[in-house]
A and B are shown apart, each in its own frame.
Chain A
Amino acid sequence: MSSINCFKNCRVIIFLIAFLSGCSEEVGKPLLQVGEKAIPFTLELLDGKQINLEQNAGKGLVITFMSSWCPCSNDSTPLMKKAYLEHKNDQIVFLMIGVQDSRSKFEKFVKKWDVPFSAGYDKGDRIAKDYGVSSPPTTFFIDKNGVVKRAFYGNIAKKPDEFQQWIKEIL
């Protein structure tokens, strides 16, 4: 009896491992890497408008993936706002994308922090998957040519000087 059960358990594990180890059509899809072109996407903003990479061609882009429940997202947002206000007349776009969150909670989060730049909810975390985002907050710095210059994982408020430097790199 025990050997039969052992065999059954092993079969399940082997199936799971086979599935996870790449027996999927998704394998061919690229994950975003620093130094590569940013992966195009279209995002519906909270105000109902749409944004995509093409319409911001020729501008630097700071994309930050955040969740309302994440302490680091809450910590990072004031610095993002400050940077936006400092650079709002420059050729740079800030975009906040809500991931791993409920839409209503993310909307409240944006309202709570009075986020002054574009923000949208990534339904199904589709953009996050393409960008390889497994946890919020994750921030990408994309230059005028659409090339990812930097990726930062975590609380950007802990690196204010580097943050300013990375923005200058994409201006």
Chain B
Amino acid sequence: MGGVSAVWGGFSSFFSIWQICLLQISPFFVAFIVGIYLATIGNKANPEICRWMIIPCITYGIGFTVFYSLLIASGLNISRPLIHNIGNLRVVSGVIILLVGLYILLVNRISFLGKIRLPLLLSTLFLLIGITFALIYSPCITPMLSDIMGIASQRSTAVEGWYLAFCYGMGVSIALCMTSIALILFTRGRKIVLRNTSLIINICGTILLILAVMNVTGLMRHYKAFVLGFVL
């Protein structure tokens, strides 16, 4: 197995039955990207989609992929504190998501926040969301991921396994970002969106707040158990 096939494995898993497991994060990521787009750049007359969205999506991909692959590569020394502290890290993630959700809800209400709508800020928020989503996500083990985890769990092959997990996570990130950007491009400028922009922003921000509370309180495991169990 090589890096390219691992990227393809992650990418294709997004568009397969394994999407069920991605329900842990995909609706929240869509809420994040749609909310942040509408709250910050959607009201610009001629938004430069590449500058404002592509670069942040790349930083999201970096954050998600690095931490996702480290959690898979249990044979690496650096992965130990991550796995041992995953409960605490999920609480920290919840706090970060809470702040991001509040930012989406308040950016157009508090003038101070409105002044810091910068590409750098967006990239930072996307990076943080990428890291937090990697921490709160418990991936379903696809056949390819099964092989990768087998390699990554052994100390002697952990680096190779980490590389493959990195490629696999990159595939998942690319698929998630592509889908979200396509959704934005599809809905951009539509009358129904323009009429209900504030409502959509509020819904997206609230969805993130719910995710934050679930992670801080430990209810996320119930979300997984009930929502994914219901779908199954």
Contacts and interface: CB of A to CB of B under 8 A. Distances in A.
Partners in one complex: yes
Interface of A: 1-2, 5-6, 9, 12-13, 16, 19-24, 26-27, 29-31, 33-34, 67-72, 74, 100-102, 105-106, 124-125, 129, 132, 134-138, 151-155, 158
Nearest to A30: B80
Which one of A70, A100, A101, A124 has the greatest number of beta carbons of chain B within 10 Å? Answer: A70
Nearest to B124: A9
Contacts of A138: 141
A13 B149 contact: no
A93 to B, nearest CB: 23
Given A9-B121, A68-B229, A137 B86 contact: no
A26 B146 contact: no
Contacts, number: 141
Contacts of A29: 80, 84
B74 A132 contact: yes
A155 B146 contact: yes
A134 B232 CA distance: 21
A31 B72 CA distance: 13
Given A6-B120, A13-B128, A72 B140 contact: yes
A98 B150 CA distance: 21
B143 interface: yes
B193 interface: no
B1 to A, nearest CB: 14
Given A26-B81, A102-B226, A69 B154 contact: no
A152 to B, nearest CB: 7
Given A132-B74, A154-B141, A154-B149, A105 B226 contact: yes
A72 B142 CA distance: 8
B134 to A, nearest CB: 11
Contacts of A100: 138, 221, 224
B121 to A, nearest CB: 7
A35 B187 CA distance: 54
B188 interface: no
B171 interface: no
Contacts of A67: 138, 224-225
A68 B222 CA distance: 11
Given A154-B145, A155-B146, A21 B140 contact: no
Given A6-B120, A13-B124, A152-B150, A134 B83 contact: yes
A132 B228 CA distance: 23
A34 B229 contact: no
A125 to B, nearest CB: 7
Nearest to A158: B143
Given A67-B225, A101-B221, A124 B87 contact: yes
A153 B78 CA distance: 20
Contacts of B92: 16, 19
A135 B138 contact: yes
B62 to A, nearest CB: 12
B159 interface: no
A1 B71 contact: no
B192 interface: no
A144 B122 CA distance: 55
B164 interface: no
A24 B120 contact: no
A135 B141 contact: yes
A30 B116 CA distance: 44
Interface in B11-27: 17, 20-21
